[in-house]
Amino acid sequence: MCRNNNMERTAYQNKIQDDRLDRVEKTVNEIKDNHLVHMQTDLTKVSTDVDWLKRFFWILATASVGGLIAALINLLVTINK
């Protein structure tokens, strides 16, 4: 009698655990399906937000090269005097 009762309790616990795992799996799939699109949208937004940084460094590099050219011309003019 005790053995049969123990088997019924184990079967009941297994059923409860299976139900819990099913709920967890459904929740995870729902979160993954709903938020994956939002995450991809956010990542493309971050990619476009970096454009200002690229422009800034392009201007900085252009100004630096311009300064080097001006310094070389100034050096050549000073040497030729």
Three-class DSSP labels, the chain:
CHHHHHHHHHHHHHHHHHHHHHHHHHHHHHHHHHHHHHHHHHHHHHHHHCHHHHHHHHHHHHHHHHHHHHHHHHHHHHHHC
Q: Kindly report the pTM of this predicted structure.
A: 0.40
81 plus 56 within the same structural domain = yes
Looking at residue 39, its pLDDT comes to: 64
45 plus 63 within the same structural domain = no
Looking at residue 62, its pLDDT comes to: 96
Q: What is the pLDDT along the chain (81 residues), one digit of tens a residue?
A: 556 676 777 888 888 888 888 888 888 887 777 666 666 666 666 666 778 888 899 999 999 999 999 999 999 999 987
Report the C-alpha gap between 34 and 41 in whole angstroms. Answer: 12
Number of domains composing the chain: 2
37 plus 3 within the same structural domain = yes
The size of the chain, in residues, is: 81
What's the token pair of residue 9? 């309790």
29 plus 12 within the same structural domain = yes
Looking at residue 30, its pLDDT comes to: 79
39 plus 19 within the same structural domain = yes
Domain boundaries, position 18: 1-49
56 plus 72 within the same structural domain = yes
